[in-house]
Amino acid sequence: MEHDYLISTRTELSGAATVVSPSGDIDLGRSPTLRAHLKQVQSKKPPRLIVDLGLVEYMDSSGVATLVEALQTARKQQASMVLCNMQDKVRSIFEIARLDTVFQIVPDVKTALEL
Amino acid sequence: MTDIPPISVQLLSDPKYLCGVRELVAAVAGRLGFSEEECGQIKLAVDEALCNIVRHGYQRRKDGQIWISLSPICNGQDVTQLRIVIEDEARQVDPGTIKGRDLADIRPGGLGVHIIREIMDEVVYEKREPTGMRLTLVKTRCSCPASKP
């Protein structure tokens, strides 16, 4: 894991939603940190998990796999998971992997909170 | 003419070094005339190939050797293609068994080969003598003058 990797987390809607905001590239070196962070967040079973990707400029398949794992956990918890603020460069890997229709992807956190 | 590629990089199979290599590859592709979108695609394909070597080839050992070389392929003065050769000393596998997974099966992992094949125009896996694997990737410039009507 890379120890200097920053991920911020905040709760919204009186605890009904948790917003996780990773930053920088999510690649093979950093995805274990994100995976551990999401596991910790999901252990509290938030009804809605929002992953704000606005500060993520690059993601490889290890990052995508981490988000797929989180989605599966959310479904088991009967919770929802929403991705937002996705940059075009990041969106393209979801399109190549045909996961853009599997995830709920919205333009911004505000929209994700209003769902 | 020489067969020596103009850029060759040697790195260890440690994930923290992948960012430097993928940025280098994207920067060189851009200087050779590939579009920003194409550079992003090449960067992703190379990263996925390196990730597969780290994860599956060296099974996350961080001291394995990886070599990557870049060679432009020209038509006259124009660079029309970029050839990228990635070699390792990791465990050998039958190239015929290297396939992307069924995308309808939604699960973590197994996307790398699919992404590489989707992005690059030529993808050739082969066993390297005496050890390891060799992956040759070719990307054709969509934006090159020769391909315009």
Could you read off the pLDDT of B58-95 as tens digits, one per residue? 999 999 999 999 999 999 889 999 999 999 999 999 99
Of A49-53, A101-105, B72-76, B109-113, least confident by mean pLDDT is B109-113
If one counts the domains in chain B, the total is 1
User: CATH for A7-114?
Assistant: 3.30.750.24
**pLDDT at position A30 over 50:** yes
Question: What DSSP letter does each residue of B34-83 carry, written as one string?
Answer: --HHHHHHHHHHHHHHHHHIIIIISTT-SS-EEEEEEEEEEETTEEEEEE
User: Which residue matches tokens 């920088």?
Assistant: A24
Q: How many CB pairs under 8 A join A and B?
A: 57
- What CATH number should be reported for the domain holding residue B89? 3.30.565.10
**pLDDT at position A1 over 60:** no
Domain ranges of chain A: 7-114
- B1 part of a folded domain: no
3-state secondary structure of B32: coil
Q: For residue A86, what pLDDT is reported?
A: 96
Low-confidence ranges of chain B (pLDDT < 70): 1-2, 143-149
**pLDDT at position A4 over 70:** no
Give me the domain span that covers residue B100.
Answer: 7-147
Rounded CA-CA distance A79/A48 in Å is 6
Query: Alpha carbon of B90 to those of A64, B28, B44, B47, B82: distances in Å?
Result: 25, 27, 21, 17, 25
Residues B103, A98: C-beta atoms closer than 8 Å: yes
- Number of Cβ atoms within 10 Å of the Cβ of B28: 18
B100 to chain A, any CB pair closer than 8 A? The answer is: no
Residues B19, A66: C-beta atoms closer than 8 Å: no
Residues A2, B118: C-beta atoms closer than 8 Å: no
Q: For residue B83, what pLDDT is reported?
A: 97
- B2 part of a folded domain: no
Q: For residue B148, what pLDDT is reported?
A: 44
